[in-house]
Chain A
């Protein structure tokens, strides 16, 4: 096998500086999971399902089709940045209270797409909510309670 060239990168993940030496083809998803951020899920590895969604520089992106090198110097947030067991983020609270999840595998990505939406558009219509999460596949819920939960947060029902 040919000798792999390695690159030094530094990414701020959930406000913690993470440095590593990686081959160029390493995806951001592999990088994050290798570094212990296992809350970022791998569903398809082709940018189809949205389970690996993270927020990078304010935008919801798919970490499985983003190279870790593209995130060098960037700030990345996973679902663990949202809330703590003692203090849930309003979206997390709404997802729990309204049961906007079943198996929970798409949930981390879904929450981050929802957060990116509400950060840029605090009062979306239901159709804007459906548009914003249309890249996050959920096979369990039919999306009804997810849309309800995001809408409830946008209307200030959960703080």
Chain B
């Protein structure tokens, strides 16, 4: 059994929680400076057009307007980023976007001009005074249409901007060996992040001339983007991240920071910009909708023989992270199963829809909708128990995936699925004559940590104060999941302190050592490991000093409750403060800066994925019981259970929080959420038409935390943020299938789709 820790693995609250319940946390929009201007963004109201005329003179002339900026005023209006790893054979190589529209409008809501004024009201007046004429251009709004040679082009001469493939064995042979073959096409929705805190920040030029932006940032390294756009040295830009009011990938790409920096730099005054809820809809990226054509074969005994799939994602009007999202889709498309013959072709395609990019699950979770539905349908055709079928095919430690990566950690999927199903308890009875109750479950896998060819690193600095309390500096932002608290807990554990004795300064690009992004389920894995390394180095300094003072060996010393003592002779001890005093007297400073490095692999040179892409994977399962009203098509979720092997829970409460929140967000994706557009025109503008789960939509959630301690994170932890969403929607779809006997292949499973599926009018497999 694992050793007993004093902080790790408990349900101890951290420090930030208290500020949050007191209302003391200063979120991005809560911060103001004297003389601050208020900014607004003027956005295009065409999905595909040429900007014929833009006249901001009347807006500039309004009293109280400090500044109106157009593309002409932006030093480097084209922001270009190489998306490492794509081949030159398809589409665009670069994630290009324009800061402000210069000529071509590619989606409804694209930013055209920026306004800064004395009050928000005057800024609104200025938006109304901006005059614009468009020449409408043909657009394309369906990714399959956009792949055709005749389709209007969004950028360059090819709408296909990324393509990745899996090639393993011989699928023709695999299907010939199959006793049953299931073939279906699935569609997944354009999900909105719907974090409750809007994108927001304040920028100013500080008293040493540094352009400073304090905002809700998942990626403080965007100071480099600001420097590029402004044409100033990176050392002259500083990002101070805030505690983030939810993000889920929505605050990963550039949000307000470049606009704010431009306005503060041009006016020399502090500026605030907060997106409206509507703007968060039409102005910000979404989750990629997918079309998933899956053909899966199995033998009579349930052994999988082949998978052939075509995967198409709608990238919207700009590349952003679509090629990377697509790698995730490709690698995860097999599901956590060992399949001897695999052929997967994945494409990401530009359209004139709202752009799509990072969102919790990052292209991996959509695949679970298809691979799990296929497993259920195979089980039905074979008359097998769906868990038995899966058990025959689960990946095991040491197996090699279809992307040629060896599984190095434990795979406890059978245990996850069985425990999730058991947690549902006795079957519920239908509440009316026209109601049907059904159950289902789904398994999933999801990587944690960035793609290894990106050579990811994280830095952390730890210092002991004279009184034995600790200060930590780590660049990692806190997305709301308690990332900062995990760092605090790990340092407290290593140095034998209480969490309240550890101060963590985080997410400041010029003060905290850079730790990378709070994305890709990497914060605990990367920054947790970095914090552990740094704290252990400090502990070593203390142990060496104390060893000299006690006449003992450093390795025989323990550090707990601010006392250093000999493990075998607890009477032989020193107060930590005495040791620190001696350390300082001798110039042996109890501080350390350490770097944690993920495994490094070579860049991908082919669009066939033939080498490991990820550090490791998290595996889990969710189970659902639903009641379907066959008259209205309404699905009510009655019970829910979620079970994941998290490796090691650094804090049990927070791990459960990730699992419960992931279940809810995945349930929303499966049941009700879709950011609708009609030929690029947004239809779901606010949270009364774009619905997310409320407390009444959610049942009680049973959480089963499994700890294999086999992960690559600190103490054997795996990542849980993204994996937690993966199995939710397929579990829901499976339960609905069980209730009504028809498979809904187009998510979300709206009452309308259920109703027509029951009438045999589509939506069914």
Contact = CB atoms under 8 A, between A and B. Distances in A.
Contacts of A129: 695
**What does DSSP make chain A's interface, helix, strand, loop or mixed?**
loop
Given A99-B654, A137-B692, A92 B277 contact: no
Contact of B277 (A38, A48, A80): A48
A131 B698 CA distance: 11
Interface in B1-50: 11, 13, 16-27, 29-30
A126 B664 CA distance: 18
A85 interface: yes
Interface in A61-118: 78-80, 83-85, 88, 91-92, 95-99, 101-108, 111
Contact of B482 (A44, A102, A143): A102
B276 interface: yes
Contact of A134 (B276, B686, B694): B694
A12 interface: no
Given A38-B26, A78-B23, A141-B657, A103 B698 contact: no
Contacts of B479: 103
Nearest to B482: A102
A142 B698 contact: yes
A103 B17 contact: no
B369 to A, nearest CB: 19
A103 B218 CA distance: 13
B694 A103 contact: no
A23 to B, nearest CB: 9
Contacts of A1: 125
A139 B246 contact: yes
B415 interface: no
A103 B695 contact: no
Interface stretch (B76-84, B173-181, B194-202): B194-202
A88 B13 CA distance: 14
Nearest to B248: A139
Contacts, number: 177
B686 A88 contact: no
Contacts of B274: 42
Interface centre among B25, B195, B687, B695, by most chain A C-beta atoms within 10 angstroms, is: B695
A106 B193 CA distance: 15
A96 B657 contact: no
Interface in A125-141: 126, 129-131, 133-141
Contact of A143 (B18, B26, B277, B698): B698
Contact of B21 (A48, A111, A138, A144): A111
B646 to A, nearest CB: 15
A96 B21 contact: yes
Interface in A16-60: 38-39, 41-49, 51
B687 A85 contact: no
Interface in B148-199: 193-198
Contacts of A126: 700
Nearest to B728: A142
Contacts of A83: 21-22
A139 B657 CA distance: 11
A142 B664 contact: yes
Given A48-B688, A51-B196, A96-B17, A105 B27 contact: yes
Given A137-B694, A145-B653, A103 B197 contact: yes
B687 A137 contact: yes
A140 B29 CA distance: 19
A84 B21 CA distance: 10
Contacts of A146: 695
A38 B32 CA distance: 10
B196 A49 contact: yes
B419 to A, nearest CB: 17
Given A46-B686, A103-B246, A134-B694, A139 B21 contact: no
B741 interface: no
A78 B24 CA distance: 12
B198 A43 contact: yes
B696 interface: yes
A11 interface: no
Contacts of A91: 21
Contacts of B657: 99, 102, 140-141, 145
A95 B21 contact: yes
Given A137-B692, A147-B695, A105 B197 contact: yes
Contact of B25 (A44, A85, A104): A104
Nearest to A85: B22
B143 to A, nearest CB: 27
Interface in B220-253: 243-246, 248
A99 B653 CA distance: 6
B701 interface: yes
A92 B22 contact: yes
Nearest to B27: A105
B13 A96 contact: yes
Highest count of chain B CB atoms <10 Å: which of A95, A103, A138: A103
Contact of B663 (A39, A43, A131, A142): A142
Given A126-B700, A141-B661, A105 B196 contact: yes
Of A42, A101, A107, A139, chain B has the most CB atoms within 10 Å of the CB of A139
A39 B23 contact: yes
A102 B243 CA distance: 11
A48 B656 contact: no
Nearest to A30: B120
A41 B197 contact: yes
Given A99-B17, A144-B701, A42 B23 contact: no
Contact of B480 (A98, A140, A142): A140
A134 B698 CA distance: 10
Given A133-B695, A139-B195, A144-B701, A45 B277 contact: yes
Nearest to A102: B480
Given A134-B695, A140-B481, A49 B687 contact: yes
B696 A130 contact: yes
A44 B29 contact: no
A79 B22 contact: yes
Contacts of B243: 103-104
Contacts of B401: none
B660 interface: yes
A85 to B, nearest CB: 6
B482 A39 contact: no
A140 B661 CA distance: 5
Question: Which of A91, A101, A111 lies at the interface centre, i.e. has the most chain B CB atoms within 10 A of its CB?
Answer: A101
A88 B196 contact: no
5 contacts: A95-B21, A99-B653, A111-B21, A141-B657, A143-B664
Interface of A: 1, 38-39, 41-49, 51, 78-80, 83-85, 88, 91-92, 95-99, 101-108, 111, 126, 129-131, 133-147
Given A88-B18, A99-B651, 17 more contacts: A41-B197, A43-B196, A48-B686, A83-B21, A95-B21, A96-B21, A101-B17, A102-B482, A102-B657, A103-B243, A103-B245, A103-B481, A104-B16, A135-B694, A138-B196, A140-B480, A143-B698
